[in-house]
Amino acid sequence: MSAAIEFYFDFSSPYAYLASEQIDALVQRHGRELVLHPVLLGAAFRVSGQRPLTEVPLKGEYSRRDFARSARHAGIAFAMPEPFPISTVQAARAFLVLQETGDVALLHRYFHAAYRAYFVHGRDISDSSILAQVLEECGAPAASVLEACAQPRTKEALKLAVDAALARGVFGAPYMIVDGEPFWGADRLPQLERWLSSGPF
Amino acid sequence: MSAAIEFYFDFSSPYAYLASEQIDALVQRHGRELVLHPVLLGAAFRVSGQRPLTEVPLKGEYSRRDFARSARHAGIAFAMPEPFPISTVQAARAFLVLQETGDVALLHRYFHAAYRAYFVHGRDISDSSILAQVLEECGAPAASVLEACAQPRTKEALKLAVDAALARGVFGAPYMIVDGEPFWGADRLPQLERWLSSGPF
């Protein structure tokens, strides 16, 4: 069994959303396992001294154009949400709560549903009532998931997950690691695929 | 005649070097003209509040790995130079001086020779004596080019070129504009090529 593809993501990252729509097929083509790791880009930005792309002078305006064009290039539905960016702390905690249940299919549904809610339908998943709706639509017990999100142990679990990601060098999203090799950005999927197809290059 | 492909570059940008090795073939495939614009990333970074990739915590280490892997992925010779980054003011001024002569073939030779000197052979083109050698190797009259570089009108010409680039929104390199559409990064060449092949998407 080859090593898993580790996929670090933040629900507020447009490029991680674009990668999320391509990663399942890629993983299946190469018979690897996919391990999803929620991170908080705000924490990574504090370490690296960066800020959200759209807030960078000059680059910000370009980035909004690039999100949409890159989505069209890949044939992926996308509509720039407002507000942007949003806090994804609650959505990430909900991911960890679902992960603990061991229901892999539910977790996978939620991963895609939360991304699409925000980046296709413009639903602000930082709003607990909207996040609850998304959870219900996935078949998750929204009330108990959100209750678990408020528990100190869930908060601590996300903090540890973020610290572990930073310790591995994760500074953005999507950030993928396979066989110890890091790939940052949806535009590195071709290099990741080559790595999986024919090994290190 | 379709509009030209405008290519903004800094001789110290690894990704602009990678794009420089691919842009001629792309331009020829689509019968467009290529217009080269030297810029100074330092000036762009001051406006956008960025700094050289390799100096960003976490991202810096990844970027060195990515430069080399992206070069291998594209089949392009590359060796990370030291020192990095370097001042490219003199190399950019020399470009403008050669551009004024109207010798397009010489300008094109210099464009590639300066990039390869730095990113393949590790020659520090911020050193005037090394830049002079590169100019000589291209068949340019090095002494008179460097003398022209020191003239106030050349210095002013580069300043104006950089200001014009910033006014067009150039915040990094390579930055390419075709039919008014901007493409930033060597990894956007596939989208640029699609644009040229089949129009706006």
Distance in Å, alpha carbon of A115 to nearest chain B alpha carbon:
23
Q: What confidence category does residue A92 fall into, taking pLDDT thresholds of 50, 70 and 90?
A: very high
Mean pLDDT, residues A5-12 taken together: 98
Nearest to B157 by CA among B8, B11, B39, B6: B39
Residues of B in contact with A62 (CB under 8 A): 169, 171, 182, 184
Interface test with A, best of B8, B58, B189 (most A CBs within 10 A): B58
Answer whether B199 touches A (CB < 8 Å): no
Mean pLDDT, residues A142-157 taken together: 98
Mean pLDDT, residues B10-38 taken together: 97
The closest CB to that of A169, out of B62, B172, B188, belongs to B62
- Given a cut of 80, is residue A2 above it in pLDDT? no
- Given a cut of 70, is residue B120 above it in pLDDT? yes
Closest residue, chain A, to B172 (C-alpha): A59
Total count of domains within chain B:
1
Given an 8 Å threshold on Cβ–Cβ distance, is A59 in contact with B48? yes
From chain B residues 154-193, the ones with a CB under 8 A of any chain A CB are: 166, 169-172, 182, 184-185, 187-188, 190-191
The residues near B155 (Cβ < 8 Å, ≥ 6 apart) are B93
Domain interval for residue A158: 5-198
Q: What confidence category does residue B2 fall into, taking pLDDT thresholds of 50, 70 and 90?
A: confident
- Given a cut of 90, is residue A17 above it in pLDDT? yes
Query: Quick one: which H or E segment has residue A17?
Result: helix A14-30
pLDDT number for residue B153: 97
Burial A90-122 (b: 16+ CB within 10 A, else e): bbbbbbbbbbeeeeeebbebbbebbbbbbbbee
Give yes or no for a contact between B184 and B17, defined as CB atoms under 8 angstroms apart: no
Given an 8 Å threshold on Cβ–Cβ distance, is B188 in contact with A187? yes
Burial of A161 (0-12, 13-18, 19+ CB in 10 A): buried
Residues of B in contact with A73 (CB under 8 A): 190-191, 194, 201
Sign of the CA dihedral with A26 first, then A15, A98, and A192 last? positive
From chain B residues 17-76, the ones with a CB under 8 A of any chain A CB are: 44, 47-50, 56-59, 61-62, 65-66, 69-70, 72-73
Average pLDDT of chain B is 96
pLDDT number for residue A116: 98
CA A17 and chain centroid, separation? 6
Given an 8 Å threshold on Cβ–Cβ distance, is B48 in contact with A61? no
Mean pLDDT, residues B124-131 taken together: 98
Given an 8 Å threshold on Cβ–Cβ distance, is B172 in contact with A59? yes
| SS3 track for A23-47 | HHHHHHHHCCCEEEEECCHHHHHHH
Mean pLDDT, residues A8-17 taken together: 98
CA A98 and chain centroid, separation? 15
Q: Looking at residue A168, what DSSP letter applies?
A: T
pLDDT number for residue A49: 86
Mean pLDDT, residues A164-186 taken together: 97
CATH classification at residue A40: 3.40.30.10
For the segment B146-161, what is each residue's pLDDT rounded down to a tens digit? 999 999 999 999 999 9
Mean pLDDT, residues B35-63 taken together: 92
- Given a cut of 70, is residue B1 above it in pLDDT? no
* Distance (Å, whole) CA B46 – CA B61: 22
Given an 8 Å threshold on Cβ–Cβ distance, is B65 in contact with A171? no
* Distance (Å, whole) CA B168 – CA B121: 33
Interface test with B, best of A45, A62, A183 (most B CBs within 10 A): A62
Percentage of chain B with pLDDT > 90? 93
Q: What confidence category does residue A90 fall into, taking pLDDT thresholds of 50, 70 and 90?
A: very high
Percentage of chain B with pLDDT > 70? 100
Size of interface A-B (CB pairs under 8 A): 75
Q: What confidence category does residue A13 fall into, taking pLDDT thresholds of 50, 70 and 90?
A: very high
Closest residue, chain B, to A190 (C-alpha): B73
Indicate the range of A174-188, B51-65, B179-193 predicted with least confidence. Answer: B51-65
- Given a cut of 60, is residue B164 above it in pLDDT? yes
For the segment A53-88, what is each residue's pLDDT rounded down to a tens digit? 999 999 999 999 999 999 999 999 999 999 999 999
Q: What confidence category does residue B176 fall into, taking pLDDT thresholds of 50, 70 and 90?
A: very high
pLDDT number for residue A122: 98
- Given a cut of 70, is residue B28 above it in pLDDT? yes
Mean pLDDT, residues A177-200 taken together: 97
Nearest to B172 by CA among A170, A69, A60: A60
